[in-house]
């Protein structure tokens, strides 16, 4: 999802990250964590979460800034720090998510009076010392301009903040630090009746508040429990707006009448700690403050920063270790690009198992599928290789959400239903997991019922789940522009991209039906519907750019209920759309294509590239059109619909051109720098694009298909966490300057292999793929028999 970044186009990028000079890794063993740079995407609209978290952790601690692009909390764009909060999402567009319950420290209050400290976010925000910024797996830290050093690490539901205060203030008096906790979130969405209490003796703060989700419906209530350690407590109390008192220990605060949440919270003041740090342990829970307290006590019982940090470091190392590469000839920045992308695939979704107040269940519960429209394409397929047991739990969670909420989610955050962007793309996720053999507790019968419901039953509110326009879909075989739909309600736009996505969703259902057995009628029915994309193809449609004919004929077009054509310029909502008034996202006045153009959606027929190639006039014309899309910047690699287009040359028998495109986009648009992402990371969608591309296998998601290109390393090995077998891809004649990116021939487990794709057994059975590279395109992988599966028949190819 890319709601804002195109408009904002943040250009400022502060190089504030002191990368420790990576020691020169040998090609045999190295510590993967040295190649994780969490700050990639912290400016220029990447919106990543750069702070401390466990893989899929619920507690995510970081410094929050007042940037207009603070969706992930912290940014390196010169913005000021407003506080240190414990809940975040990563890479999202839309409004900032979470950022709840910020702490803020003062070494002392002016005049030694609690009213001498500043409480409202707008007044207290402050700069930090650029050179002090440090982020590494399980850790984030910086020094505020006031001289207070703040370090943080996390357990699953608990953040641990370490504050080191200057021993004296500027007038030489011993410090008397004050730490406040603000009942706030990043987007100031707090509703009525936030509450907080502070225990006079221990300083423990507990409370909760109701907030709004950042891209969805409803609200959520989050609870917390904060404890302090390290210095004797001097006094404590609450604050409201800009005034505080140690005489009051409980606060219940309204949102306020003018729509802006009043600042309110609590504070604890300490006797001078000298050089001893003060620790703040913040547990969070969606269930209760008591649960927040008990998680915190169980997870970080003794406020041991080093021990908590060490567990986080070891957990990350273990998660990232199944994938190793040869470092021969490779510079550290290439490795950093690769491993940082992989790291980001495990920040979101978040494991909220045991924290779901919405229903009782023994199934896992994951949240922050933000959004599946973004994640189905490569992030979840990537995790299916590297962390299949977690994907299995995510799939179980999706199915359990269907069981209890009635529908599979398309987007979900903060326990709320998120907005649907196109199809019911959880169907693709389930098919992908099914075809790749995930089992372990997944109820595939219920999963199948869930996807069939998406295809057959229209929800009343299809902006949150399922699909709209199902009567038309079944009767006419497309989603009409200006559909007559009285059964369910949603944003009546995107008729073309919804038709294309629904077609693919139906293919996913057919694939599951096929595998589950005994469902032959369903297989046929959904395969039939998966051909519906053809109903919007207008074979005589032309496309002009700035008055000049592009020369291409035949594009998808909107169609009315009465089966006559409407019109949308094929370049509308493309990266080179010259119309400043184009509306391309979820607005009511949006286009018939979501966040991209007809030009790009023209290629979104992932299940039937053969028929699409014929439709476009054969393989040469298809390649020509795909080149035009890329060469003229019609596509925008910073948004997910672009991903597959980089590799679709494989289907036209030109795998060499996929490799070439991949090497153009990386590094041109993906760099291991703070501003190194071309758009919102969308959880780790961009990260997974980088990881798959550099690994040399790119998935066609929803199918058991990986398209083969040469890895960016001499070799890549991936150990399957399920079977413990190690799959290896090795380049012979590897050239680190990437002139030799053309596969001349290949062997699989020693036997010549000419298919330009491979299936998931490569990973689970630990096969070895050896690619011999050369400097020119070859005939490898170009015959019809070598092409990836497609529903229709490949025609018009050489042999
Ligand atoms: C940050 O705060 C400083 C002073 O506290 C101010 O000069 C500066 O303009 C602020 N930066 C931004 C980006 O708002
Ligand atoms: C320094 O601390 C003393 C004692 O807490 C206080 O009276 C004084 O106002 C402080 N000075 C400044 C500049 O904050
Ligand atoms: C908030 O508290 C007030 C006063 O106790 C009460 O009247 C009101 O119903 C509460 N609002 C909500 C949304 O709980
Ligand atoms: C924890 O402390 C030990 C001993 O001082 C040190 O070797 C280790 O690096 C520390 N761990 C972390 C994550 O800082
Ligand atoms: C590892 O590096 C050594 C020395 O540079 C080289 O001889 C060897 O072939 C490399 N091995 C692999 C698997 O890349
Ligand atoms: C290894 O050292 C070489 C030469 O100093 C340097 O160019 C390269 O970036 C280093 N590689 C890694 C992986 O650190
Ligand atoms: C699939 O489509 C064909 C041709 O339109 C039709 O004959 C057949 O009945 C359809 N099958 C199902 C199960 O809908
Ligand atoms: C079909 O409907 C569209 C939109 O209402 C209208 O502009 C067009 O004239 C209709 N065509 C026919 C043949 O009725
Ligand atoms: C496409 O964009 C790239 C990078 O922004 C630029 O170098 C190139 O000139 C553009 N090409 C066209 C045809 O506009
Ligand atoms: C994989 O290795 C782990 C750790 O050694 C072991 O517990 C597990 O049983 C192994 N799995 C298989 C399928 O061999
Ligand atoms: C692969 O191609 C190279 C270079 O043309 C050749 O030397 C080698 O024998 C070929 N290997 C196979 C298995 O065809």
Q: What DSSP letter does each residue of 86-131 carry, written as one string?
A: S---SS--SSPP---SEEEEES--GGG-GGGS--SHHHH-B-B-GG
CB-count exposure of residue 664 (10 Å: 0-12, 13-18, 19+): middle
Cβ–Cβ under 8 Å, residues 315 and 55:
yes
Among protein residues, the one with the nearest Cα to ligand 10's atom 4 is: 724
How many angstroms separate the CA atoms of 469 and 740, rounded? 49
Atom 3 of ligand 9, residue of closest alpha carbon: 633
**Ligand 1, atom nearest to 145 Cα:** 5
- Per the DSSP assignment, residues forming a β-bridge with 136 are 139
Q: Is 632 in the pocket of ligand 9 (CB under 6 A)?
A: yes
Query: Which ligand is closest in space to the CA of residue 255?
Result: 3
Among protein residues, the one with the nearest Cα to ligand 4's atom 3 is 306
CB 153 within 8 A of CB 305: yes
Which three-class secondary structure state does DSSP give residue 296? helix
Q: Which ligand has the nearest atom to the CA of 327? A: 6
Q: What is the pLDDT of residue 5?
A: 37
C-alpha to C-alpha distance for 575 and 596, rounded to whole angstroms: 8
Q: Is 78 in the pocket of ligand 1 (CB under 6 A)?
A: yes
Residue whose Cα lies nearest atom 11 of ligand 1: it is 79
Q: What 3-state DSSP class applies to 39?
A: coil
Atom of ligand 4 nearest to the CA of 310: 13
The tokens of 162 are what?
A: 């370490």
Classify the phi-psi angles of 111: left when phi > 0, otherwise alpha if psi is within -120 to 50, otherwise beta: left
Buried b or exposed e, range 494-507, using 16+ CB within 10 angstroms: bbbbbbbbbbbbbb
| C-alpha 520, offset from chain centre | 36
Q: Which long-range contacts (CB under 8 A, 24 or more apart) does 290-296 make?
A: 290/225, 291/223, 291/355, 292/157, 292/206, 292/223, 292/224, 292/225, 293/204, 293/206, 293/225, 293/227, 295/155, 295/156, 295/157, 295/158, 296/157, 296/158, 296/225, 296/227
Question: How far apart are the CA of 193 and the centre of ligand 3, in A?
Answer: 6
Which tokens hold the place of 697?
A: 């296998």
Q: How far is the CA of 677 from the centre of ligand 1 (A)?
A: 25
- pLDDT confidence of residue 799: 56
259 Cβ neighbours under 8 A, 6+ residues apart: none
- The number of beta carbons lying within 10 Å of the beta carbon of residue 738 is 16
Give the Å distances, CA to CA, from 75 to 79, 130, 644, 741: 7, 12, 29, 36
- Non-local (6+) Cβ contacts of 172 within 8 A are none
Q: Which residues sit opposite 278 in a β-bridge?
A: 163
The 10s digit of each residue's pLDDT in 624-664 is 999 999 999 999 999 999 999 999 999 999 999 999 999 99
β-sheet with 243-245: strand ranges across: 62-65, 81-85, 102-106, 178-182, 264-270, 233-240, 243-245
Q: How far apart are CA 742 and CA 756, in angstroms?
A: 12
CA 648 to CA 712: how far, in whole Å?
Answer: 19
Give DSSP secondary structure letters for 530-583: HTGGGGGEEEEEEEEETTEEEEEEEEE--B-TTS-B----TTTTSTT---TT--
pLDDT value for 169: 82
CA 203 – CA 197 distance, rounded (Å)? 9
Query: Could you tell me the distance, in angstroms and rounded to a whole number, from the CA of residue 275 to the centre of ligand 6?
Result: 39
Q: Which of 746, 756, 710, 737 is nearest to 325 (CA)?
A: 710
Q: Which CATH class is domain 34-317?
A: mainly beta
Q: What tokens does 124 get?
A: 């207290």
Q: Do the bridges between strand 233-240 and strand 264-270 make them parallel or antiparallel, or are there none, so unpaired?
A: antiparallel
Q: Whose CA is nearest to atom 6 of ligand 4?
A: 306
User: In angstroms, rounded to a whole number, what is the distance separating the alpha carbons of residues 382 and 391?
Assistant: 10
pLDDT of residue 81: 98
Give the phi and the psi of residue 243 in degrees, each rounded to 5.
Answer: -120, 145
- C-alpha to C-alpha distance for 278 and 583, rounded to whole angstroms: 50
Which residue has the CA at smallest separation from atom 1 of ligand 6?
Answer: 24
Residue to probe by mutation, ligand 3, list 193, 194, 209, 212, most atoms within 8 Å of CB: 193
Quote the ligand 1 centre to 128 CA distance (angstroms). Answer: 10
Q: How high is the pLDDT of residue 29?
A: 80
Residues with Cβ within 8 Å of residue 324, at least 6 apart in sequence: 32, 716, 717
Residue 632 Cα to ligand 9 middle (Å): 7
CB atoms < 10 A from the CB of 288, how many?
A: 15
What is the 8-class DSSP label of residue 23?
Answer: P
- Please state, in angstroms and rounded to a whole number, the distance separating the CA atoms of residues 204 and 224: 10
DSSP H helical segments within 321-462, as ranges? 332-344, 372-375, 379-386, 388-405, 426-435, 444-456
CA–centroid distance, 271 to ligand 2, in Å, is 14
The Cα 62–Cα 64 span in angstroms is: 6
- Which superfamily is assigned to 358-544+556-601 in CATH? alpha-1,2-mannosidase (1.20.1050.60)
The answer, yes or no, to whether any atom of ligand 10 lies below 6 A from the CB of 723, is: yes
Cα separation, 52 vs 36, in Å, equals 13
Q: Where are the domains of the chain?
A: 34-317, 358-544+556-601
> Cα–chain-centroid distance for residue 290?
31
Residue 115: Cβ-neighbour burial (10 angstroms; 0-12, 13-18, 19+): middle
For the chain, which residues score pLDDT lower than 50? 3-27
Residue nearest to atom 8 of ligand 8 (CA): 564
34-317 and 358-544+556-601 in the same fold: no
Q: How far is the CA of 303 from the centre of ligand 4 (A)?
A: 15
Please state the three-class secondary structure of 618-637 as a single string. CHHHHHHHHHHHHHCCCCCC
pTM for the full predicted model: 0.94
Share of the chain above pLDDT 70, in %: 96
Q: Residue holding tokens 């608990």?
A: 158
CB distance 633 to ligand 9 below 6 Å: yes
Cα–ligand 7 centroid distance for 524 (angstroms) = 7
Ligand minimally distant from the alpha carbon of residue 252: 3
Q: What is the pLDDT of residue 21?
A: 33
Alpha-carbon torsion angle 228, 230, 231, 232, nearest 10:
60
Return the ligand 7 atom nearest residue 528 CA. Answer: 1
Q: Is the CB of 539 under 6 A from ligand 4?
A: no
Residue with tokens 């975040």: 88
**Exposure string for 369-395, b = 16+ CB within 10 A, e = fewer:** bbbbbbbbbbbbbbbbbbbbebbbbbb
For residue range 276-305, list pLDDT tens digits in order.
999 999 999 999 999 999 999 999 999 999
Nearest ligand to the CA atom of 314:
4
Residue 587, number of CB atoms within 10 A of its CB: 11
Please provide residue 412's backbone torsions phi and psi, each rounded to the nearest 5 degrees.
-155, 135
């Amino acid at each position: 999802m890319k709601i804002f970044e195109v408009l904002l186009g943040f250009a400022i990028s502060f190089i504030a990250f002191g990368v420790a000079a990576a020691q020169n890794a040998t090609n045999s063993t190295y510590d993967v964590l040295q190649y994780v740079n969490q700050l990639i995407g912290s400016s220029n609209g990447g919106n990543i979460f750069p702070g401390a978290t466990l893989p899929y952790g619920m507690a995510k601690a970081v410094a929050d800034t007042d940037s207009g692009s603070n969706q992930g909390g912290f940014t390196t764009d010169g913005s000021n720090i407003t506080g240190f909060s414990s809940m975040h999402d990563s890479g999202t567009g839309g409004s900032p998510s979470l950022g709840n319950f910020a702490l803020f420290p003062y070494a002392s209050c002016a005049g030694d009076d609690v009213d001498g400290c500043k409480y409202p976010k707008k007044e207290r925000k402050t700069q930090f010392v650029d050179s002090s910024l440090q982020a590494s797996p399980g850790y984030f830290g910086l020094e505020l301009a006031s001289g207070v050093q703040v370090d943080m690490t996390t357990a699953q539901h608990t953040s641990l903040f370490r504050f080191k205060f200057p021993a004296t203030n500027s007038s030489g008096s011993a410090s008397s630090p004050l730490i406040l906790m603000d009942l706030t979130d990043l987007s100031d969405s707090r509703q009525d009746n936030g509450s907080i209490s502070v225990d006079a003796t221990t300083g423990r703060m507990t409370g909760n508040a109701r907030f709004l989700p950042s891209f969805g419906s409803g609200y959520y209530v989050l609870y917390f429990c904060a404890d302090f350690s390290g210095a004797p407590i001097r006094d404590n109390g609450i604050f409201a707006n800009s005034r505080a008192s140690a005489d009051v220990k409980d606060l219940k605060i309204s949102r306020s009448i003018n729509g802006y949440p009043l600042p309110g919270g609590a504070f604890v003041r300490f006797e001078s700690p000298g050089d001893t740090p003060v620790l703040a342990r913040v547990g969070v829970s969606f269930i209760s403050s008591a649960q927040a307290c008990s998680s915190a006590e169980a997870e970080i019982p003794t406020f041991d920063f080093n021990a908590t940090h060490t567990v986080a470091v070891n957990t990350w190392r273990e998660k990232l270790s199944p994938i190793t590469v040869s470092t021969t000839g490779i510079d550290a920045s290439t490795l950093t690009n690769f491993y940082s992308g992989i790291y980001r695939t495990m920040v979101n979704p978040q494991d909220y198992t045991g924290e779901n107040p919405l229903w009782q269940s023994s199934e896992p519960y994951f949240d922050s599928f933000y959004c599946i429209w973004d994640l189905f394409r490569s992030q979840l397929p990537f995790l299916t290789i590297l962390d299949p047991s977690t994907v299995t739990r995510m799939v179980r969670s999706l199915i359990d959400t269907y069981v209890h909420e009635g529908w599979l989610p398309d987007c979900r955050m903060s326990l709320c239903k998120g907005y649907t962007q196109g199809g019911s793309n959880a169907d693709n996720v389930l098919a992908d997991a099914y075809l790749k053999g995930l089992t372990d507790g997944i109820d595939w019968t219920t999963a199948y019922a869930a996807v069939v419901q998406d295809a057959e039953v229209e929800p009343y509110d299809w902006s949150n789940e399922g699909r709209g326009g199902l009567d038309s879909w079944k009767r006419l075989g497309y989603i009409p522009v200006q559909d007559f739909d009285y059964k369910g309600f949603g944003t009546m736009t995107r008729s073309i991209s919804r038709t294309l996505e629904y077609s693919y969703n139906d293919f996913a259902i057919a694939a599951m039906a096929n595998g589950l057995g005994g469902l032959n009628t369903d297989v046929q029915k959904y395969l039939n519907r998966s051909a519906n994309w053809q109903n919007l193809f207008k074979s005589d449609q032309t496309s002009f750019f700035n008055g000049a004919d592009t020369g291409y004929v035949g594009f998808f077009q909107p169609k009315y209920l009465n089966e006559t054509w409407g019109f949308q310029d094929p370049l509308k909502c493309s990266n080179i759309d010259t119309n400043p008034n184009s509306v391309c996202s979820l607005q009511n006045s949006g286009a018939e294509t979501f966040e991209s153009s007809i030009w790009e959606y023209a290629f979104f027929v992932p299940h039937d590239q053969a028929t699409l190639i014929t439709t476009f006039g054969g393989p040469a014309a298809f390649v020509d059109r795909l080149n035009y899309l890329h060469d003229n910047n019609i596509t925008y690699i910073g948004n997910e619909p672009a991903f597959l287009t980089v590799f679709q040359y494989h289907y036209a028998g030109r795998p060499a051109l996929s490799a070439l495109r991949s090497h153009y986009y990386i590094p041109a648009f993906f760099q291991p720098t703070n501003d190194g992402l071309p758009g919102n990371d969308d959880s780790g969608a961009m990260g997974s694009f980088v990881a798959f591309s550099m690994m040399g296998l790119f998935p066609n998601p929803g199918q058991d298909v990986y398209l083969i290109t040469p890895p960016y390393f001499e070799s890549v090995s991936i150990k399957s966490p399920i079977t413990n077998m190690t799959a290896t891809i090795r380049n012979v004649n590897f050239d680190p300057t990437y002139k030799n990116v053309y596969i001349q021939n290949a062997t699989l487990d020693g036997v010549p292999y000419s298919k330009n794709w491979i299936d998931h057994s490569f990973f689970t059975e630990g096969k070895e793929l050896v690619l011999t590279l050369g400097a020119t395109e070859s005939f490898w992988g170009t015959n019809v028999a070598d092409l990836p599966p497609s529903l229709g028949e490949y025609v018009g190819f050489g042999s």
